[in-house]
């Protein structure tokens, strides 16, 4: 009986091993090799080794956009010389649409695809290589098997001669070749930018997690102070949600002559700044604000996200109405984070918020496009502004930030100073990222606010998020013993046009909706030759300063090569300057809301 059982166990074990070996052999594999033998020519070279692909052909694809930057950029336009081989023999390759290549391999399960990528656009969302360094975002360099987007892969980076550093959040393969990394899916590979060269690598620990700062480019800064302040920002950001999803994090910082902006990733970010940004109080504060914004994205967007933003469809636009939360809300929290960390005094925070309100309320497009519409139309408007964008659209960054401030005050007031938007973020993280492992819908975001406050804010969302009514600033600020004061920026007549100098001649670049120039017929691209019979070579806005409303002005313009006279009366200026102020003798209830919103004594 024991012998029979032993034989049965041996047979079962052998069958199990055979089954495992068969499964391993059948599991497709994917390896990338990234080379840059001649960086001065601005090309990356990619080799994809695909194994275990059993169909007669395999489609490989290049994404058309980079998550976090909502514009179809057509990265496939930079691909050159794609070839495929199996066993040393060339394979047939057909391009079947703008970003898909079909590789025929009817007799081979294993094959290789090689191609080059021209990379000479240095921004946080694209890729670049020259003699000094290489930087890449995965979506603009790496292709993927169309049916294998969720496949794991390995990547070996071969730096150019003389380069010794590779900075990325991808995990290194233990015991593998130098600079070999592992990703669990294409999404992870695409979401892990890589800096290659001789960048300076700094380290700090925040929330028990190692953080790397890869600094490319010359810049003057106090290294220890910078790391201490970045650590403080990261730890304050962590307190908002209270959950640490990280085991590592990488900041890639490009210090350039001119640079601004950042792009968030799952375990990293890229920041692009002026190399002099650290040398003035305002520049340094702006840098820490950028750190706070991109770092907070590791919760808001990368994990707490609208349902449309992941898993990604890399072939086309991924639409959502919620970028006012994902981007504008992140800007709102980033400013709170720097204030809470002690880098911005409460009164200076209110001054900064006043400036954003001023910008929003003086933008004509704020009455035309809602925050939800701005989010949805980001693919065609945010990154493609034209001369009329100021009149027709509003930034979901700015509008989302002021919506965040108003909504936060309403949440704090509704809960008698006990809860805030921090608690809404914590709920979304727990309910959707942790439990349901997906993003939230528009309706679920509103339900989360209701869950925390115990009341619905449907009318607020309808009127101010999905509509274009003016936000109830004074109602919300009043909860905290504050009010919004406004004064006209001028009582004089104003031109209502933006004029810049092109080739030495003042030229109209924007005409403001319903202003003097709009009503009077001055056009974008009009070259202004004379004002009231006198030659003018500078911005006429300066020359018109102090003229009362109702004054008739006469312009001589060059319009499409023809000289025309345009005459109209100056209308009164309508722009307002907004300022958040404290009311006299605030109540204890108001002070409780204020202390919850902007902790005193930081």
> Is 62 found in the same domain as 117?
yes
Provide the pLDDT for residue 4.
44
First to last CA, the chain: 78
Q: What is the pTM of this model?
A: 0.93
In this prediction, residue 474 carries a pLDDT of 98
- Average pLDDT of span 441-447: 98
Q: Which of 269, 298, 327 is the last residue of a domain?
A: 298
Residue 577 lies in a domain: no
Question: Which 3 state secondary structure label does DSSP give 85?
Answer: strand
- pLDDT score of 7: 46
Would you say residue 16 lies in a domain?
Answer: no
- Residue 502's pLDDT is 75
Q: Supply the range of the domain harboring residue 281.
A: 199-298
407 lies in the same domain as 555: no
Q: Is the pLDDT of residue 319 over 70?
A: yes
Give the mean pLDDT of 406-424. 98
Of 541, 573, 582, the closest CA to residue 362 belongs to: 573
Report whether pLDDT(343) > 90: yes
334/398 same-domain check: yes
Name the residue among 150, 444, 440, 411 with its Cα closest to residue 300. Answer: 440
pLDDT in tens, 27-48: 999 999 999 999 999 999 999 9
| Contact (Cβ atoms closer than 8 angstroms) between residue 44 and residue 36 | yes
Please give the tally of structural domains in the chain. Answer: 4
Q: Is the same domain home to 498 and 547?
A: yes
DSSP label at residue 310: S
Proportion of the chain above pLDDT 90, given as a percent: 93
For residues 63-68, give the mean pLDDT: 97
Is residue 588 included in any domain, yes or no? no
Query: Is 581 inside any structural domain?
Result: no
How much is the mean pLDDT over the chain? 95
Q: Any long-range contacts for 89-95 (C-beta under 8 Å, 24+ apart)?
A: none
**Confidence band for 11, pLDDT divided at 50, 70 and 90:** very low
CATH number at residue 421: 1.10.390.10
455, 510: one domain: no
Kindly tell me the sign of the dihedral angle through the C-alpha atoms of 185, 190, 192, 198: positive
Same domain, residue pair 367 and 415 = yes
Domain assignment of residue 319, yes or no: yes
**Does the residue 178 lie in any domain?**
yes
Q: What CATH code is carried by the domain that includes residue 47?
A: 2.60.40.3650
342: number of Cβ within 10 Å: 13
Model pLDDT for residues 252-278, shown as the tens digit of each residue: 999 999 988 999 999 999 999 999 999
Tell me the mean pLDDT in the region 68-90: 97
Cβ atoms of 35 and 47 closer than 8 Å:
yes
Whether residue 341 is found in the same domain as residue 460: yes
357-375 as b/e, with b when 16 or more CB fall inside 10 Å? bbbbbbbbbbeebbbbbbb
Residue 2 has pLDDT above 50, yes or no: no
Are 367 and 452 in the same domain?
yes
* CB crowding 405-420: b at 16 or more within 10 Å, else e: bbbbbbbbbbbebebb
Is the distance from CB of 440 to CB of 430 less than 8 angstroms? no
Element (H, E) at 523: none
Same domain, 537 and 461: no
Residue pLDDT, tens place only, 94-148? 999 999 999 999 999 999 999 999 999 999 999 999 999 999 999 999 999 999 9
Indicate the pairing of strand 505-511 with strand 171-172.
Answer: unpaired
**Span 228-245, pLDDT tens digits:** 999 999 999 999 999 999
Residue 141 near residue 117 (C-beta atoms within 8 A): yes
Tell me the pairing of strands 562-569 and 552-559: antiparallel
- Structure confidence at residue 126 (pLDDT): 98
State both tokens at 125.
């969302």
Same domain, 115 and 37: yes
Q: Are 406 and 463 in contact (CB under 8 A)?
A: no
- The answer to whether residues 398 and 456 belong to one domain is yes
Residue 513: give its domain's CATH number: 2.30.42.10
At 600 the pLDDT is 66
Do the Cβ atoms of 190 and 142 come closer than 8 Å?
yes
Residue 92 lies inside a defined structural domain of this protein: yes
The neighbouring-strand residues paired with 205 are: 210
State yes or no: pLDDT of 12 exceeds 60. Answer: no
Give per-residue pLDDT as tens, 177-191: 899 999 999 999 999
Predicted confidence band at 504 (pLDDT cuts at 50, 70, 90)?
confident
Region for 417 from its dihedrals, namely left if φ exceeds 0, alpha if ψ lies in -120 to 50, beta otherwise: left
pLDDT at 18 over 70: no
For residues 475 and 460, the answer to whether their CB atoms sit within 8 Å is no
6: confidence class by pLDDT, cuts 50, 70, 90: very low
| Residue 322 dihedral angles phi and psi, to the nearest 5° | -110, 15
Query: Tokens 């794991």 belong to which residue?
Result: 152
Q: Of 150, 185, 220, which residue constitutes the final position of a domain?
A: 185
Same domain for 126 and 274?
A: no
CA count, 13 A, side-chain hemisphere, 522: 33
Is residue 148 situated within a structural domain?
yes
Mean per-residue pLDDT, 484-496: 96
């Amino acid at each position: 009986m024991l012998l029979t059982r032993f034989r049965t166990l041996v047979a079962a074990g052998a069958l199990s091993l055979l089954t495992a070996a068969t499964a391993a052999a059948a599991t497709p594999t994917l390896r990338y090799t990234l080379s840059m033998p001649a960086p001065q020519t601005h090309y990356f070279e990619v080799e994809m080794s695909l194994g275990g692909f059993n169909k007669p052909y395999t489609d490989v694809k290049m994404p058309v956009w980079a998550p976090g930057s909502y514009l179809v950029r057509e990265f496939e336009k930079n691909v050159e010389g794609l070839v495929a081989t199996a066993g040393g023999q060339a394979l047939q390759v057909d391009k079947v649409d703008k970003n898909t290549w079909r590789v025929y391999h009817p007799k081979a399960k294993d094959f290789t695809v090689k191609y080059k990528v021209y990379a000479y656009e240095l921004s946080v969302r694209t890729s670049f290589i020259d003699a000094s360094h290489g930087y890449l975002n995965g979506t603009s360099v790496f292709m993927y098997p169309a049916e294998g987007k969720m496949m794991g892969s390995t990547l070996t980076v071969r730096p150019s001669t003389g380069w010794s550093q590779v900075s990325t959040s991808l995990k290194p393969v233990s015991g593998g070749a130098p600079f070999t990394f592992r990703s669990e899916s294409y999404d992870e590979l695409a979401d892990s930018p890589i800096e290659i060269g001789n960048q300076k690598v700094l380290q700090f620990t925040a929330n028990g997690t190692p953080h790397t700062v890869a600094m490319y480019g010359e810049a003057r800064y106090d290294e220890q102070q910078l790391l201490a302040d970045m650590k403080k920002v990261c730890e304050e950001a962590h307190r908002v949600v209270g959950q640490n999803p990280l085991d590592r994090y990488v900041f890639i910082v490009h210090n350039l002559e001119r640079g601004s902006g950042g792009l968030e990733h799952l375990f990293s970010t890229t920041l692009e700044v002026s190399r002099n940004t650290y040398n003035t109080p305002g520049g340094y504060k702006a840098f820490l604000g950028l750190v706070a914004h991109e770092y907070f994205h590791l919760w808001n967007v990368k994990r707490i996200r609208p349902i449309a933003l992941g898993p990604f469809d890399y072939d086309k636009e991924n639409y959502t109405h919620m970028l006012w939360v994902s981007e504008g809300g992140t800007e709102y929290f980033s400013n709170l984070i720097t204030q809470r960390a002690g880098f911005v005094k409460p009164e200076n925070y209110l001054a900064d918020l006043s400036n954003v309100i001023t910008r929003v309320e003086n933008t004509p497009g704020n009455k035309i496009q809602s925050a939800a519409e701005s989010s949805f139309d980001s693919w065609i408007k945010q990154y493609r502004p034209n001369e009329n964008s100021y009149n027709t659209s509003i930034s979901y960054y700015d509008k989302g930030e002021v919506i965040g401030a108003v909504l936060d005050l309403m949440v704090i007031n509704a809960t008698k100073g006990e809860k805030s938007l921090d608690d809404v973020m914590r709920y979304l993280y727990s309910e959707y990222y942790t439990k349901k492992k997906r993003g939230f819908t528009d309706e679920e975001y509103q339900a989360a606010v209701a869950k925390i406050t115990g009341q619905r804010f449907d009318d607020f969302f309808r009127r101010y998020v999905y509509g274009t009514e003016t936000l109830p600033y004074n109602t919300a600020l009043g909860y905290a013993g504050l009010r919004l004061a406004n004064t006209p920026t001028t009582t004089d007549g104003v031109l209502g046009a933006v004029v810049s100098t092109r080739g030495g001649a003042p030229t109209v670049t924007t005409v403001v909706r319903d202003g003097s120039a709009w009503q009077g017929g001055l056009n974008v691209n009009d070259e202004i030759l004379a004002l009231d019979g006198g030659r003018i070579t500078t911005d006429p806005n300066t020359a018109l300063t102090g003229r009362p409303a109702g004054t008739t002005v006469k312009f001589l313009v060059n319009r499409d090569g023809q000289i025309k006279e345009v005459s109209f009366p100056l209308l009164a200026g309508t722009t307002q300057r907004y300022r958040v102020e404290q009311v006299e003798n605030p109540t204890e209830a108001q002070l409780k809301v204020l202390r919850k919103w902007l902790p005193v004594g930081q």
